[in-house]
């Protein structure tokens, strides 16, 4: 009986501990994740968020124009993609100001790019490209849009500043277009040139000084290694883990002021470098991009697996301002809404840039028909990302955006007098990451611990039930046996020397001795 009791107690303890492990350990893990995600100074997550030790993959693809002379005569543009020009991109946050009462942190940002020839597929940056002169094209299209009567003045200024170019298209090395820069001569003294140069000095933020009143203009050179002028203010997520990284202010303002409606000006989501953990397929991934002056939502598509880790696969797009009422405020004017997956960035960047997915992927077909040489496909051109939902770790991400400008005939501007109408693709970028094995291994370790705990919880629960069942079975078996009568047959010993004879003759008489329970014996007496 003692062994049965010990067996039952041991089984019960195992079962209860298994249930506690079953219910309590996942809750403990979630609690630790909630605490760990907060951007508290001195913590590992704060350090990773502030200065991620590994570079992002930054790929640039340029569209080389193969028929510049024909375009000048009104023919359809023909382009050929050249790339990727691969750069290691380092993102750094600096000059932090923490406010404990509000659970916020404010910071500045700095991006730096370093060319990576090993991953550029043989490209060096010395390749000759035929490319639209973006400063000339931007000046012409902005003037046409805002003050068409000033177009003759712009034409004279272009002749002065850029030394009477024969074509809107310039032949230059890829590295000059991307980072090193094309010359802008503001030593001119004529009225038109001086007036435009004065405007450029105040409005063109990315001009790089190259001597007195001389500058260079490139796509990324002015941003490389320099601190972004605006500062970002986000919640740290220490008081509420769901708020981690949520944008409160940008450039000292609680909302944008460039769109006609408040919901388009609002900062929705995080700063795109951190996300709240413990989400599922029903949750969207939302982030605010200061570079494009709007928030973007990514939606769950399917379950996936990256480097052996189960993930949720998300995709994002630029929406459809022509059909979605909530996106009407992104239309250039109430009567000129762009179609699906096109986004006018003019108000944001101060230049007539139209954003789109690369190669006009998932855009209306008419834009593709205006240009030859584009080949959109989902694998290479969709914006996507894979998240491990428990820790909100992005294992893989591809943020892709193409930059385009409209071209059209401008009778009062000789370089574009006979141009065709088209949305001209200029270049596209992919900012991405495939998380390194050392960080993936840390995620795998969490799930390995969960697997071990999962094994033990089943072992304890099933083992405890088995032990309790065995103890119960033994107990009932013993109880059943204790209720049966114990009958013993006794035979008298015959003594040959006994002279007395039994009666009746030749009959042996046996007596039966019964072991009677005490309670029954007591009743017999009464």
Of the ranges 270-274, 380-384, 437-441, which one carries the lowest mean pLDDT score? 437-441
Residue 494 lies in a domain: no
- Residue pointed to by tokens 């790339």: 83
pLDDT of residue 516: 41
Tell me the average pLDDT across 95-117: 97
Residue 62 pLDDT exceeds 50: yes
Same domain, 264 and 341: yes
Q: Is the pLDDT score of 468 beyond 80?
A: no
Are residues 478 and 398 located together in one domain of the fold? no
Side-chain-side CA neighbours of 118 within 13 Å: the count stands at 3
Give the mean model confidence (pLDDT) for residues 227-254. 96
Distance CA 448, CA 273 (A): 26
Q: Convert the pLDDT of each residue in 3-49 to its tens digit.
A: 766 666 666 666 666 676 666 667 777 888 898 999 999 999 999 99
Whose tokens are 């108000």? That residue is 347
pLDDT band of 458, cuts 50, 70, 90: low
Burial of residue 78, with CB atoms counted within 10 A of its CB: 0-12 exposed, 13-18 middle, 19 or more buried: middle
Most distant CA pair in the chain, distance = 163
Domain end, chosen from 410, 435, 460, is at 435
403-447 residue pLDDT tens: 999 999 999 999 999 999 999 999 999 999 999 998 898 888 777
User: Does the pLDDT of residue 450 top 80, yes or no?
Assistant: no
Q: Confirm whether 503 is domain-assigned.
A: no
pLDDT at 335: 85
pLDDT per residue over 173-193, tens digit each? 999 999 999 999 999 999 999
Flag whether pLDDT at 496 surpasses 70: no
139 assigned to some structural domain: no
Q: How far is CA 338 from the centre of its chain?
A: 27
pLDDT category at 369 given cuts 50, 70, 90 is: very high
What is the average pLDDT across 242-270?
A: 96
144 in any annotated domain: no
- For residues 381 and 421, membership in a common domain is answered with yes
Q: Average pLDDT over the chain, rounded to whole?
A: 87
Q: Could you identify the residue written with the tokens 């006018």?
A: 344
- Res 498: pLDDT: 47
Number of domains in the chain: 2
164: alpha, beta or left? (left if phi > 0; alpha if psi -120 to 50): left
Domain identity same for 289 and 227 = yes
User: Which residue range is the domain that position 460 belongs to?
Assistant: 2-28+450-482
Nearest to residue 79, comparing CAs of 91, 95, 61? 61
Which residue would you say has higher pLDDT here, 511 or 241? Answer: 241
| Cα–Cα dist 103/39, whole Å | 9
18 and 66 in a single domain? The answer is: no
Confidence of residue 105 (pLDDT cuts 50, 70, 90): very high
Domain end point (choices 406, 435, 464): 435
**Residue 70 half-sphere exposure, CB side, CA atoms within 13 Å?**
10
Q: Are residues 9 and 65 in the same domain?
A: no
204, part of any domain: no
Nearest Cα residue to 25 out of 390, 458, 444, 450: 450
In a domain, 205, yes or no: no
CA–CA dist 329, 424 (Å, integer): 24
Centroid of chain to Cα 345: 23
Please check whether residues 241 and 353 belong to one and the same domain: yes
Pairing between β-strand 354-356 and β-strand 343-344 as defined by DSSP bridges: antiparallel
d(CA 392, CA 311): 10
On whether the CB atoms of residues 12 and 440 are closer than 8 A, the answer is no
Do 324 and 372 lie in one domain? The reply is yes
Chain-centre distance of CA 71, in angstroms?
40
Q: Say yes or no: 9 and 104 in one domain.
A: no
227 and 328 inside one domain = yes
Quick one: CA torsion of 154, 155, 156, 159, rounded to 10 degrees?
120
493 pLDDT band, cuts 50/70/90, is: low
User: pLDDT, tens digit, for every residue of 276-300?
Assistant: 999 999 999 999 999 999 999 999 9
Give the N- to C-terminal CA distance of the chain in Å, as an integer: 34
Q: Is residue 520's pLDDT more than 60?
A: no
Q: Which residues pair with 488 in a beta bridge?
A: 513
* Residue at 345 is within a domain: yes
Q: Does residue 505 belong to any structural domain of this protein?
A: no
Same domain flag for 431 and 456 = no
Q: Phi first, then psi: give them for residue 128, nearest 5 degrees.
A: -80, 130
* Whether residue 239 is found in the same domain as residue 110: yes
């Amino acid at each position: 009986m003692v062994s049965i009791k010990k067996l039952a107690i041991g089984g019960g303890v195992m079962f209860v501990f298994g249930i506690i492990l079953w219910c309590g350990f996942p809750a403990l893990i979630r609690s630790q994740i909630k605490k760990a995600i907060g951007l508290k100074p001195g913590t590992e997550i704060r350090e990773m968020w502030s200065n991620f030790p590994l570079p992002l993959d930054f790929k640039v693809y340029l569209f080389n124009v193969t028929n510049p002379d024909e375009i000048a005569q009104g023919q359809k543009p023909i382009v050929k993609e050249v790339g990727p020009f691969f750069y290691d991109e380092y993102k750094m946050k600096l000059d932090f100001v923490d406010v404990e009462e509000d659970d916020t942190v404010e910071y500045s940002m700095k991006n730096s790019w370093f060319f990576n020839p090993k991953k550029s597929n043989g490209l060096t940056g010395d390749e000759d490209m035929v490319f639209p002169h973006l400063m000339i094209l931007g000046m012409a299209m902005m003037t046409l849009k805002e003050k068409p009567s000033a177009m003759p003045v712009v034409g004279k200024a272009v002749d002065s500043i850029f030394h009477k170019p024969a074509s809107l298209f310039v032949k230059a090395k890829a590295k000059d277009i991307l980072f090193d820069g094309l010359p802008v001569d503001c030593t001119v003294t004529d009225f038109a040139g001086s007036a435009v140069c004065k405007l450029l000095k105040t409005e063109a933020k990315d001009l790089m000084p190259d001597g007195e009143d001389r500058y260079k203009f490139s796509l990324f050179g002015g941003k490389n290694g320099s601190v972004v002028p605006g500062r970002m203010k986000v919640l740290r997520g220490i008081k509420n883990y769901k708020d981690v990284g949520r944008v409160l202010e940008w450039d000292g303002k609680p909302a944008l002021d460039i769109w006609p409606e408040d919901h388009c000006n609002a900062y929705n989501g995080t700063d795109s470098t951190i996300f709240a953990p413990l989400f599922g397929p029903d949750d969207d991934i939302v982030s605010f991009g200061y570079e494009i002056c709007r928030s973007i939502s990514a939606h769950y598509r399917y379950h996936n697996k990256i480097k052996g880790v189960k993930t949720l696969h998300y995709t994002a797009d630029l929406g459809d301002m022509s059909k979605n009422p909530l996106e009407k405020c992104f239309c250039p004017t109430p009567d000129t809404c762009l179609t699906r997956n096109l986004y006018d960035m003019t108000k944001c960047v101060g230049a007539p840039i139209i954003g789109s997915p690369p190669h006009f992927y998932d855009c209306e077909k008419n834009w593709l028909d205006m240009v030859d040489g584009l080949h959109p496909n989902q694998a290479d051109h969709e914006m996507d990302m894979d998240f491990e939902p428990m820790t909100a770790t992005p294992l893989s991400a591809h943020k892709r955006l193409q930059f385009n400008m409209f071209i059209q005939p401008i009778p009062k501007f000789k370089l574009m007098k006979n141009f065709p109408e088209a949305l001209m693709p200029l270049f596209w970028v992919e900012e991405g990451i495939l998380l390194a094995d050392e960080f993936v291994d840390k995620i795998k370790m969490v799930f390995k611990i969960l697997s071990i705990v999962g094994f033990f919880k089943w072992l304890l629960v099933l083992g405890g039930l088995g032990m309790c069942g065995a103890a119960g079975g033994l107990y009932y078996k013993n109880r059943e046996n204790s209720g049966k009568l114990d009958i013993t047959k006794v035979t008298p010993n015959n003594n040959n020397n006994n002279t007395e004879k039994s009666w009746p003759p030749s009959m042996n008489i046996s007596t039966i001795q019964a072991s009677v329970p005490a309670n029954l014996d007591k009743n017999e007496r009464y």
